[in-house]
């Protein structure tokens, strides 16, 4: 049974304040915390599967929509990694105060998860994390996966309009990437030095991923030298990893991390 209604949390100050939609299920520890990808929401296939697993096994589960996504307020075009990180930490602090948790980050959500680890470590709160499960993680994607491939026209769009558009394989609406996202992304880059997560990390990565090449995940591993890190490569897996067999692998991995 999936929660049918969302609750809302005001995050941000003054003109940057907006309502963040949350679906939280109480249960035993460790709880699951879903962090979605760019332009995705908390009622996608993987998030729903995690929530159902939580129902069946009695674990807590929390998910939310970033501002400009799903049921949350705010404009998508105003979004940045810093803003979505602030919202994710606010939800985590408000709804996940007790026990330990597994952050499950998909694509851009993997970047948010890694930044949450850094911010929690600064507070001395790494103990709140049981593990990280990253699905096709895309940390630093504007810098490493986009900038090298921008056309002159796209560069011009960013400078003159403040954003660029490109066709989306997953929606009739084009993807929009703002100059603010690029600039702010540089301030949040994690693949510059060692990333201290303070907990085990498992990565699920498709080798047929057209958006985040599996080599990017392999490079990420080199920035996690002191952690218990493992990776499962899915030879025919795409970026979404939403097929029945992908979902089954996701849930088996969750169980392994919980029982470790």
58 domain residue, yes or no: yes
For the stretch 26-72, pLDDT in tens is: 999 999 999 999 999 999 999 999 999 999 999 999 999 999 999 99
What is the rounded average pLDDT for all residues in the chain? Answer: 95
213 domain residue, yes or no: yes
Does the structure show a pLDDT above 50 at 184? yes
Pairing of strands 28-35, 59-64: parallel
Amino acid 170: pLDDT: 75
12 domain residue, yes or no: yes
Residues 197 and 129 sit within 8 Å (Cβ to Cβ) = yes
1 domain residue, yes or no: no
What is the reported pTM? 0.95
- Which whole number is the average pLDDT over 5-24? 92
Residue among 238, 223, 33, 47 nearest 140 (CA): 223
241 domain residue, yes or no: yes
Structure tokens at 181: 């996202």
| CATH code (residue 182) | 3.40.50.1820
Residue among 106, 185, 180 nearest 142 (CA): 185
Reported as a pLDDT band with limits 50, 70 and 90, residue 79 is very high
Does the structure show a pLDDT above 90 at 201? yes
2 domain residue, yes or no: no
Amino acid 172: pLDDT: 81
161 domain residue, yes or no: yes
121 or 3: which leads in pLDDT: 121
88 domain residue, yes or no: yes
Domain limits for position 134:
7-259
Into how many domains does the chain fold? 1
Amino acid 2: pLDDT: 43
């Amino acid at each position: 049974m999936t929660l049918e209604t969302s609750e809302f949390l005001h995050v941000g100050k003054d003109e940057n304040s907006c309502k963040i939609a949350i679906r939280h299920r109480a249960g035993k520890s460790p709880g699951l915390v879903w962090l979605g990808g760019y332009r995705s929401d908390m009622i996608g296939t993987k998030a729903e599967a995690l929530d159902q697993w939580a129902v069946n096994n009695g674990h807590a589960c929390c998910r939310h929509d970033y501002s400009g996504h799903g049921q949350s307020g705010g404009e998508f075009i105003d979004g940045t990694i810093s803003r979505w990180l602030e919202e994710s930490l606010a939800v985590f602090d408000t709804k996940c105060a007790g026990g330990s948790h597994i952050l499950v980050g998909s694509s851009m959500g993997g970047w948010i998860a890694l930044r949450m680890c850094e911010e929690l470590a600064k507070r001395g709160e790494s103990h709140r994390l049981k593990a990280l499960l990253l699905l096709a993680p895309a940390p630093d994607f504007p810098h490493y996966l986009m900038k090298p491939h921008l056309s002159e026209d796209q560069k011009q769009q960013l400078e003159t309009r403040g954003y660029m558009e490109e066709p989306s394989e997953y929606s009739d609406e084009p993807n929009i990437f703002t100059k603010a996202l690029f600039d702010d992304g540089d301030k949040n880059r994690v693949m510059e030095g060692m990333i201290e997560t303070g907990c085990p990390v498992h990565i699920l990565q498709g080798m047929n991923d057209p958006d985040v090449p599996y080599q990017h995940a392999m490079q990420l591993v080199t920035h996690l030298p002191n952690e218990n890190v493992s990776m499962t490569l899915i030879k025919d897996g795409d970026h979404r990893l939403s097929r029945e067999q992908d979902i089954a692998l996701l849930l088996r991995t969750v169980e392994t991390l919980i029982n470790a």
